[in-house]
């Protein structure tokens, strides 16, 4: 059951990322051809990027959580700032230009989407905030 739970978590993350990339394409780059295909590819890219970055911050998050014994503090101190950087990079890949209000809104929305997509993992791990795992 645990493997199935992690598969559901990864699927939820992918669908959330692809969906948010689709919103981005329709919102700030409506002239782009094949937005569904592009969103699916960008969602996969965002998922892989999050795994790679997550592998690098894994030890920092685990160490901070072990030191503070405060999972929410660790989560919001490490994962949220990293996600702001990740979504900013993806914004630039998709839009290729900055439209301050819309750009900031989309990046912050991506951070919220990423955090909400962690809920299945939190449930899988007993209702706690998921820290010290290699996904960002």
Classify residue 131: in a domain, yes or no: no
What span, in angstroms and rounded, lies between the C-alpha atoms of 9 and 122? 10
Give the chain's domain count. Answer: 1
Q: What is the mean pLDDT of residues 54-71?
A: 83
User: Domain for residue 59, yes or no?
Assistant: yes
Is residue 24 in a domain? yes
Residue 90, judged by CB atoms within 10 A of its CB (0-12, 13-18, 19+), counts as buried
> Range of 118's domain?
2-124
Query: Is the pLDDT at 19 greater than 90, yes or no?
Result: yes
Judge whether 16 lies within some domain.
yes
Residue 130 lies in a domain: no
Q: Quick one: pLDDT at residue 40?
A: 95
Q: Is the pLDDT assigned to residue 1 strictly greater than 60? A: no
Closest of 74, 110, 82, 116 to residue 94, by C-alpha: 110
Residues 65-103: tens digit of each pLDDT = 788 888 888 888 888 999 999 999 988 887 777 778 888
Closest by alpha carbon to 78, among 13, 9, 136? 136
Query: Which has more confidence, 24 or 131?
Result: 24
Distance CA 101, CA 109 (A): 12
Residue 136 falls within a domain, yes or no? no
């Amino acid at each position: 059951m645990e493997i199935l739970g992690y598969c559901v978590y990864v699927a939820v993350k992918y669908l959330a990322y692809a969906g948010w990339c689709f919103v981005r394409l329709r919102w700030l780059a409506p002239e782009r051809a094949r937005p569904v295909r592009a969103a699916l590819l960008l969602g996969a890219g965002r998922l892989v990027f999050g795994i790679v970055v997550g592998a690098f911050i894994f030890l920092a998050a685990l160490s901070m959580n072990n030191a503070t014994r405060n999972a929410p503090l660790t989560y919001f101190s490490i994962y949220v700032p990293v996600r702001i950087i990740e979504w900013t990079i993806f914004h630039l890949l998709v839009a290729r230009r900055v439209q301050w209000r819309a750009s900031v809104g989309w990046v912050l929305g991506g951070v919220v989407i990423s955090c909400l997509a962690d809920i299945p993992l939190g449930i899988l791990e007993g209702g706690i905030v998921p820290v010290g795992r290699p996904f960002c």
